[in-house]
Amino acid sequence: MPTPTPTPTPPHAAAAVTTGAFDRGRAYQLHPKVALRPERFGALAYSYDTRRLSLLKDLDLVAVVRSLADAPSAAVALDAVPTAKRPAVERALARLVETGFVRERH
Amino acid sequence: MSVTDTDVAGPASTVRAHGSLRDELLRGLAAPICLTWEWTYACNLACVHCLSSSGRRDPRELTTGQLRSVVDQLAGMQVFYVNVGGGEPMTRPDFFDVLEYAVDHGVGVKFSTNGGMINPVKARRLAALDYVDIQISLDGADAMTNDPVRGTGSYDRARTAMDHLATAGFGAFKLSVVVTRHNASQLDSFEALARDYGAELRITRLRPSGRGRDSWAELHPTATQQRDLHSWLLARPHVLTGDSFFHLAAYGQSLPGLNLCGAGRVVCLIDPVGDVYACPFALHEHFRAGNVLDTGGFAAVWRESELFTELREPGSAGACASCGHYDACQGGCMAAKFFTGLPLDGPDPECVLGHGEAALAAVSPASLPAVDNDHSKNDRSRNPGAKRLLPLSVLR
């Protein structure tokens, strides 16, 4: 199991993720053309749309991604993650939105 | 292969796999990411560097029902897509049947073909399918360079196939080139050709496997060409490489991709009779892990075979232990070493630091491993004096 880093995200990296369209107040879902395969370290995501693979290297992140479809907002799904780890999981989720593996649900 | 590493340890980036990601992958996955599946040994060409020594169909090749049952197994394991090859897979009368069955079951197919059997009707049928990618093989930017390697008329047939795909509106197929000493100077021409067709260019490494065992010495790029190739690819991250040049990372900068030997960890090969090998370049008893028809099927071979378990254990750097670049190249390609007679824990024959050349000089030709599974139309074991169809000397 990878452990989340205790070090804060550097400012330039934080800027890179906050410029994406992710908004924790909105509802999301796994892209319908993305499949998740459980792996020892988390999951492997494959997009039949873009033909890209992504390694989700954290079990909490995988749980959040799976629960998005039934959560009224990303924030609610993220509530299940321990507080200390939540910002890191949120950043990873934002990245999945940017890369199209997760998309907004209307 | 384009892989994103989504780690909670920080913002993810498209990786040049280092550290923890590489470690995770080397320990193996629940199912392969990149599975090559050869459907037949039959081929309408006789390329001098054929990895699988293809030519004649093997009477034991899996039946349509067996191929479909393998698709079911792969779908159950969530193998997202397979790289279908051969031989020439389109020579199978049930090619479209199995192709469509795979796609319908969520197993995408990228298949490699010489294009010789793609006519306008088949091109339209292929264009109508989702989740099918096509790689057309071409090993020269003109017939004069291509045909001595792939056979008389093969350049024109590949170009005709590309025309049919374009006319049918297939979209972006892949133009797949194995870099040789003779075409290394044509990379810009290949890029222009791909651009003309709206195709993606894929450049891969020549391996001394199959009939390549006998043609590798005169076909593999020179050290200078290899250095130029590295720079050329670094400047073109959009050119696909199938992760096949990870040994070039020892120049100091790795190319996009996982940059590791995925044999038995991330990749494997199922051959036309159902035998499972560690990688597509290792069609030899030494690297055979089992058969999909065995009890437990492909999943048991992938998850439990002795060979794959061993490959997932941390390896020793062996003779490369004292080299400061071992972390970058990981000792290079296992199959390239094996088929050139080099020890598996020694340098790659094309080691960029030149350690391979010295090691190769000490190899006696008599000690090279025999080519297993030879399905060549002029099988050397049955006809040892057989001449190659097209002498490479015409290129000199």
Q: What is the ipTM of this complex?
A: 0.81
Confidence class for position A21, pLDDT limits 50, 70, 90: confident
C-alpha distances in Å from residue B284, one per residue of A91, B237, B242, B277, B290? 46, 33, 21, 8, 12
Are B10 and A55 a contacting pair at CB < 8 A?
Answer: no
Determine contact, residues A50/A100, Cβ cutoff 8 Å. yes
The residue in chain B having the minimum alpha-carbon distance to the alpha carbon of residue A61 is B8
List, as own/partner pairs, every contact residues B12-19 make where C-beta atoms lie below 8 angstroms and the sequence separation is at least 24, other chains included.
B12/A54, B12/A92, B12/A95, B14/B256, B15/B258, B16/B254, B16/B255, B16/B256, B16/B257, B16/B259, B17/B257, B17/B258, B17/B259, B17/B260
d(C-alpha B342, C-alpha B360), whole Å: 7
> What's the pTM value of the predicted model, to 2 decimals?
0.89
Are B106 and A89 a contacting pair at CB < 8 A?
Answer: no
Q: Which residues of B touch A6 (CB under 8 A)?
A: none
According to the model, what pLDDT value does residue B374 have?
Answer: 93
Are A53 and B33 a contacting pair at CB < 8 A?
Answer: yes
Query: By percentage, how much of chain B surpasses pLDDT 90?
Result: 79
- Please give the single-letter amino acid code of residue B57: R
Interface test with B, best of A19, A83, A86, A95 (most B CBs within 10 A): A95
CA atoms within 13 A on the CB side of B152: 5
d(C-alpha B295, C-alpha B155), whole Å: 43
According to the model, what pLDDT value does residue B128 have?
Answer: 96
Determine contact, residues A30/A102, Cβ cutoff 8 Å. yes
Are B29 and A48 a contacting pair at CB < 8 A?
Answer: no
d(C-alpha B96, C-alpha B126), whole Å: 9
pLDDT tens digits along B43-90: 999 999 999 999 999 999 999 999 999 999 999 999 999 999 999 999
How near does any CA of chain A get to the CA of B81, in Å?
A: 9
Confidence class for position B371, pLDDT limits 50, 70, 90: confident
Of B4, B8, B78, the CB nearest to A35: B78
Q: Which residues of B touch A57 (CB under 8 A)?
A: 5-9, 20-21, 24
Confidence class for position B253, pLDDT limits 50, 70, 90: very high
Confidence class for position B273, pLDDT limits 50, 70, 90: very high
According to the model, what pLDDT value does residue A106 have?
Answer: 87
Q: Which residues of B touch A39 (CB under 8 A)?
A: 24, 29-30
Are B8 and A40 a contacting pair at CB < 8 A?
Answer: no
Q: Is the pLDDT of residue B372 over 70?
A: yes
How near does any CA of chain B get to the CA of A82, in Å?
A: 13
- Of the candidate ranges A75-84, B267-276, B357-366, the one whose mean pLDDT is the lowest: B357-366
According to the model, what pLDDT value does residue B379 have?
Answer: 64
According to the model, what pLDDT value does residue A20 have?
Answer: 56
Interface test with B, best of A7, A30, A53, A97 (most B CBs within 10 A): A53
Mean pLDDT, range B128-150, rounded to an integer:
97
Q: Which residues of B touch A (CB under 8 A)?
A: 1-12, 20-21, 24, 27, 29-31, 33, 78, 80-81, 106, 108, 130-131, 133
Interface test with A, best of B1, B3, B5, B7 (most A CBs within 10 A): B7
How near does any CA of chain A get to the CA of B223, in Å?
A: 33
Q: Is the pLDDT of residue B260 over 80?
A: yes
- Of the candidate ranges B12-26, B188-202, B218-232, B262-276, the one whose mean pLDDT is the lowest: B12-26
Highest mean pLDDT among B258-262, B281-285, B384-388: B281-285
| Token reading at B73 | 């197994």
Residues in chain B: 396
Confidence class for position B292, pLDDT limits 50, 70, 90: very high
Q: Is the pLDDT of residue B96 over 80?
A: yes
Q: Is the pLDDT of residue A14 over 50?
A: no
> Which backbone phi and psi does B113 adopt, to 5 degrees?
-145, 155
Phi/psi region, residue B268 (left: phi>0; alpha: psi -120 to 50; beta: rest), is beta
Of B2, B8, B80, the CB nearest to A89: B8
